[in-house]
Every structure is written in C-alpha cells, then in structure tokens.
C-alpha cells in the first residue's frame, strides 16, 4: 500500500507499492507543494546558471550524476522484487511466456513505425542539404573516438551474450537491468514451481520490494536538486549557442518526436480507451525528471509503480517495462534515422531508397542494443554507420555538439512509449483494470 503523506508536506511522486483500491483525493495540494513544480524550478535555474555562469554550471555536474546514481542504486532490486513477486503468483506459467511474446511483437511493430517516420521526415525536409561538410576535414576528439570504438566493436552476438550475466552478483552490482530481469524470470519460475515452500520466499521478496520503494521515495526528494545540477552542467558545458548551428536538425527531431507521441502513440492509446494527454499528465513528474537528467532510466521504478496504480498487473509491468527500456526505445529510433540521413545529406552521400531501407533494417537490430541511459544513442549511431559503410563514421562529429540537447527528447519519447506499451500489453492480455485506469487518469490518488 502506498504511503499517504500529510497534505502539508512536500510529496515526491507516488512510488510506494500501489494498492488495487483507489479513492478520490480529499483535496489538491497547493501548487508550491507539488514536487514537479520544484523540479521545473530546478531545470529553469539550471539553464540560467549554465548560461550566465558556465564554469559554475560545469562544476555542478556531481549534483545531477549523484541523483541519477542514487536512483540507479535501487533499480535492480526493485525490478527483481517486482518480477519475482509477479511470476511467483501466476497460476499458469505459460502466461509469462505469452506476455513476453506479445511485448516483443508490440516493440518491433512500434519501433519500426518510429524508424520509418524518421526516414519519411528526413526525405521530405532534408535539413542537411545545405551543410556541404567534407568528412576529411573533421577531427574526431577523444570522447567521440571512444563512442566510435565502443559502437564499432559491438555485433549482434554481443547483445545476445550480454543478456546472460557472468554472475548474479555482478548483474546487480553493475546495474544491468536486462541481466537482472533474466535472472528474476528464472528465479520467479523456480519459486512458482516450488509450491508452498516457494510461496514463503516470494512473500519475503515482496516485503523487501516494499522497503526498496520506500528508499526510492526518500531519494526522490532530491529530484529538484538533481535536475538543477544536470541541466546546469549541460548548458554550461555545451552552451545554448551550440543550438544555433544545428537548430534545424534539433527542431525537426523535437517536432517529429512530438508528432509520434501525440499522433502515433495517441492513436494506439485510443484503441485501448486511453487519452494520451491524460496519460502524459499522469506521468508529468517523471517526464520533468527525465527532462532534467536526460536519462529515462532515472524514472524506471516510478513508472513501474504508477503503471500498477493504473491497473496493469505486476507480472505484466515487471516484464514489459524493463524489457522495453532496451527493446522499445521509440525516441532513440527516431533519432537514429534522423541523424543517419542528416549526416548523409551533410557529407553529400546520395542514398537510394534501397540503401535507406537497408539502413532501417540495420537499425532494427542495432537500436535494440541501446540502454536507457545518456549517450547510448550516440554509440548506436556509430555502430550503425560502421555497419552500413556508405557514410563516414567521422561525420558524427557534425552533430556531437547538439547530441546532448537531443538526448532529453530521446529519453522523454522512450518513457512515453514504454508507459503506453505496458498498458497495451496488459489490455491485449485481457488483464488491464480499465475502471481503475480511468479513475486514476481522471485525477484520483491511490490509497
């Protein structure tokens, strides 16, 4: 049961274990007691400090990274406890495999739409035509060189091998969500098969999960400070003036992502009886945290908790959300096609329709290796360019300066996509509590 704080206290987003019951809130908190307001204040303050005192902004980086690290500290235990608890309670284990298969099918379909959307937009608007860059004159700095090296060294087999941890402890220590998820599924199945003996252990895991959500709730009080530090560093390091040279690309990316969320995801949402704008309002606190930290992973536990409050069963949430953070990155897919075609246009490489479709096919594989953390999109872009071979990998220097400003939009779109994906899979499976979802989206709070 989620903890209920006094209306006079500043509350972070609801991250405690939700109850199946919901009730109308007795009254709305005043605006200055809303956590998302203070996160927004932190973001604006960070922009101002980074712009007018860039040196100070860069020095504030530890505020952002420490907050994100504190969130990541509890992600693995929360994912483990949620998945194990959900699977251990399933009466028919075939349901687990069915949910996973439906999630993968949905992920492939929607990310394909995202890739094709980026392809169409770039062919229509062609923002890179006027750049006329000579890749021979581009100097690759040490940071970008590291991204290129990491991206070119990864093949499809690396993604498969990375699914299985070398050790269980290592998966938790390194915070590798997919590896933790893999072990949690096996552990949950084993508990389910163990009968009464397994049920006792599952109950203990459930209690640990509640405590971990309590830890997360405490950490979330620092969200405004974390957003302030992360945004101050971004603006101080890269500067708002960086946007002017590649402003058209950034504008096209943000516009395309907005279209995808409102129109594409909105259409999908309407088929299961969800108003996309109500859903976005419901997760507004998480979206602001993502905006400030540039990392969708920073809100993974909160999104899982809120989805349960919306009426999605724990086993569906536990399987779909963590998996989606690696296999359903809609914002990253849009970015990858936009960036790839922009670089081709910028260096004068004329790609035929067949070559563009080949790039989409490659991206369907390479995009699945991206994690929900800052910088992953740039690494996957390097891997894609090296695989395709028609576009010089060094050309990524052209967009390196604004990549950080696009990472916020990537992360925001990814969170929106995974939130809706979980509801779609739950509805497809026939286990979504539509009445509870409707009440929650209309503004009621869990008890």
Q: Helices in 260-352 by DSSP H: which ranges?
A: 266-271, 276-282, 284-293, 300-309, 314-327, 330-346
Q: How many beta carbons lie within 10 A of that of residue 4, not counting itself?
A: 12
Interatomic CA distance for residues 405 and 164, integer angstroms: 33
The DSSP annotation for 191-248 comes to HHHTTHHHHHHHHHHHHHHHHHHHHHHHHGGGHHHHHHHHHHHHHHHH-TTHHHHTHH
Q: What is the pLDDT of residue 83?
A: 85
> Tell me, what's the pLDDT at 264?
97
Between CA 294 and CA 336 the distance in angstroms is 17
- The domain defined by 22-446 carries CATH number 1.10.3860.10: yes
Residues forming beta bridges with residue 23, ordered by sequence position: 445
What is the separation of C-alpha 197 from the centre of its chain, rounded to a whole number of angstroms?
A: 36
Which pLDDT score is estimated for 107? 93
Residues whose CB is less than 8 angstroms from the CB of residue 419 and which lie 6 or more positions away in sequence, other chains included:
279, 283, 303, 306, 307
Output the CA torsion 156→158→159→165 (10° steps): 160
Torsion angles phi and psi, residue 94, rounded to 5: -65, -25
One digit per residue, the tens of pLDDT, for the chain of length 447 reads 333 333 333 444 444 444 444 443 444 567 666 777 888 899 899 989 998 999 999 999 899 889 888 888 888 898 898 888 888 877 778 888 899 899 999 999 999 999 999 999 999 988 877 666 666 555 555 555 555 555 555 554 555 566 788 888 888 888 777 888 889 889 988 988 888 888 888 889 889 988 998 888 888 888 899 889 988 988 888 777 766 667 888 899 999 999 999 999 999 999 999 999 999 999 998 999 888 887 888 888 899 999 999 999 988 998 899 888 888 889 989 998 998 998 888 888 888 888 888 888 888 777 765 554 455 667 778 777 777 777 877 777 778 777 777 888 988 999 999 999 999 999 999 999 999 999 999 876 543
DSSP category for residue 34: B
Beta-bridged to residue 34, according to DSSP, are: 11
- Across 147-180, b (16+ Cβ under 10 Å) vs e yields bbebbeebeeeebeebeebeebeebbeebbbbbb
CA distance 310 to 105: 22
pLDDT at 217: 85
Burial of 422 (0-12, 13-18, 19+ CB in 10 A): buried
3-state secondary structure of 14: coil
Rounded Cα distance between 198 and 253, Å, is 49
Q: Is 195 exposed, middle or buried (0-12, 13-18, 19+ CB in 10 A)?
A: exposed
Among residues 88, 431, 121, 358, the alpha carbon closest in space to that of 248 is found at 121
What span, in angstroms and rounded, lies between the C-alpha atoms of 235 and 240?
A: 6
Cβ neighbourhood burial of 367 (10 Å; 0-12, 13-18, 19+)? buried
Query: Would you kindly state where each structural domain of the chain is located, as residue ranges?
Result: 22-446
What pLDDT does 158 receive? 56
**Count of positions (residues) in the chain:** 447
Q: What is the pLDDT of residue 166?
A: 83
**Residues in CB range of 400: below 8 A, 6 or more apart:** 141, 143, 144, 378
């Amino acid at each position: 049961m989620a903890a209920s704080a006094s209306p006079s206290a500043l509350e972070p987003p609801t991250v405690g274990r939700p109850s199946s019951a919901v009730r109308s809130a007795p009254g709305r908190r005043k605006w200055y007691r809303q956590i998302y307001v203070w996160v927004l204040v932190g973001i604006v303050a960070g922009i101002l400090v980074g712009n007018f005192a860039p040196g100070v902004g860069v020095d504030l980086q530890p505020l952002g990274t420490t907050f994100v690290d504190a969130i990541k500290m509890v992600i693995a235990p929360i994912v483990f406890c949620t998945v194990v608890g959900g699977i251990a309670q399933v009466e028919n284990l075939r349901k687990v495999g069915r949910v996973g298969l439906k999630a993968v099918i949905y992920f492939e379909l929607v990310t394909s739409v995202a890739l094709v959307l980026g392809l169409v937009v770039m062919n229509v608007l062609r923002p890179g035509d006027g750049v006329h860059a000579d890749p021979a004159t581009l100097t690759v700095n040490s940071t970008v060189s590291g991204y290129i090296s990491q991206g070119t060294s990864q093949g499809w087999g690396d993604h498969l091998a990375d699914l299985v941890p070398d050790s269980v402890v290592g998966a938790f220590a390194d915070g590798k969500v997919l590896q933790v998820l893999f072990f949690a599924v096996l552990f949950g199945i084993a508990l389910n098969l163990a009968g009464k003996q397994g049920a006792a252990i599952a109950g203990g895991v459930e209690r640990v999960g509640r405590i971990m959500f309590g830890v997360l709730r405490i950490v979330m009080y620092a969200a405004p400070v974390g957003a302030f530090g992360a945004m101050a560093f971004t603006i101080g390091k890269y500067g708002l003036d960086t946007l002017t040279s590649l402003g058209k690309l950034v504008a096209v990316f943000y516009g395309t992502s907005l279209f995808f969320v409102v129109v594409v995801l909105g259409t999908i949402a309407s088929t299961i009886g969800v108003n996309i704008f109500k859903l976005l309002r419901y997760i507004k606190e998480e979206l602001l945290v993502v905006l400030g930290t540039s990392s969708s992973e920073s809100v993974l536990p909160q999104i899982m908790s809120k989805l349960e409050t919306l009426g999605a069963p724990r086993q569906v949430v536990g399987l779909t959300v963590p998996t989606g953070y690696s296999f359903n990155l809609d914002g990253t897919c849009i970015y990858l096609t936009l960036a790839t075609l922009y670089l081709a246009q910028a260096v004068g490489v004329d790609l035929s329709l067949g070559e563009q479709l080949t790039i989409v096919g490659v991206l369907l594989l390479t995009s699945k290796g991206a994690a929900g953390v800052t910088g992953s999109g740039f690494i996957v872009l390097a891997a894609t360019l090296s695989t395709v071979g028609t576009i010089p990998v060094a050309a990524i220097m052209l967009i390196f300066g604004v990549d950080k400003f696009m990472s916020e939009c990537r992360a925001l779109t990814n969170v929106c996509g995974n939130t809706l994906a979980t509801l779609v899979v739950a509805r497809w499976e026939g286990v979504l509590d539509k009445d509870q979802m409707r009440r929650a989206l209309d503004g009621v709070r869990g008890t």
